[in-house]
Amino acid sequence: MSELETASSLDLVHRAREHDAVAFSALLQPRLAGLLRTATAVLGNDGDARDALQAALTNAWLHVGALRATDRFDAWLLRIVVNECRHALRRRGRARVREISIGVEEEPWTTPLVSSDGLADSVVGRDTFDRAFERLGADQRAILVLRYHDEMAIAEIAAVLAVPEGTVKSRLFAARSSLERALEKENR
């Protein structure tokens, strides 16, 4: 077993901070597929997601030396990926991204989601969802993906987005509401 295989993630982070490209690669390799899936869920296609991931990896390599909270490497890395997705959407064209504003209720995250009418069960349903999701802005897409695709806890999302947990909850509710309104528009 090689030295790299036995090294812990934290060891690798420390070595990556010292400009060790081999350690950086060993650290990133098992995470790449997951990061690409996350970026693809946000952006909707493999090409844009790859570009965002490429930019994120480059930025991570350039700035890992400045990472202080080495135990939060994953949150830091995911934040960079989310930021690159945001930039990608911005570049794709503001005209195609429409934020849907919605009021935020008190403790809205406790509201249970009522079952939909089998949206995920049909091609048409998935297409409708896709078009509705494309109506959302980058931040709303990201928070929905982190929560419902990556299945992250509120505290973990808060660490990734560098915001308080309460903010995550309210943004999550707003994003869900925006998505539901977008679905209604698509179904008209």
Partner 1 sequence: MNISENDLHELLTSRASRASLGGLDELLDRATRTSRPQRPMRQRQLLAASVGVTLLASIVVAITLLTFGPFNPAPSFGPGLAGEPTSSIGPTPSPAVGDIQPTPLASCPVTVPGRWFVPPSGYPAVPPSLYGKVWYGSANLWTMLSPTGDVWSGLPRDAAGLTQKTLWWSQSFDLAREPSPAIAVAGTRLDVAGPTFVAASPGTSVEADFGTAMLVGVLIPTSGCWKITATYRGDALNYVVWVAAK
- For partner 1, the binding residues (CB under 8 A) are 19, 21, 24-25, 28-29, 32-33, 36-41, 44-47, 49-51, 53-55, 57-62, 65, 87-88, 91-92, 113-116, 118-120, 126, 129-130, 133, 144-145, 148-149, 151, 176, 179-180, 183-184, 187
Q: Are 140 and 161 in contact (CB under 8 A)?
A: no
Dist CA 85 CA 163 (whole Å): 18
- Which C-beta is closer to partner 1: that of 69 or that of 111? 111
State the sign of the Cα–Cα–Cα–Cα dihedral 104, 110, 116, 118: positive
Integer Cα distance of 133 and 64 in angstroms: 32
**Contact by Cβ (8 Å): 108, 186:** no
Nearest distance, CB of residue 118 and partner 1, angstroms: 8
> What distances in angstroms separate CA 183 from CA 4, 99, 133, 170, one per listed residue?
48, 14, 8, 20
Minimum distance of partner 1 from residue 181's CB (angstroms): 8
Q: Which CB atom, from 76 or from 133, has the smaller least distance to partner 1?
A: 133
Least CB distance from residue 136 to partner 1, whole Å?
A: 12
CB of 174 to partner 1, least distance (A): 15
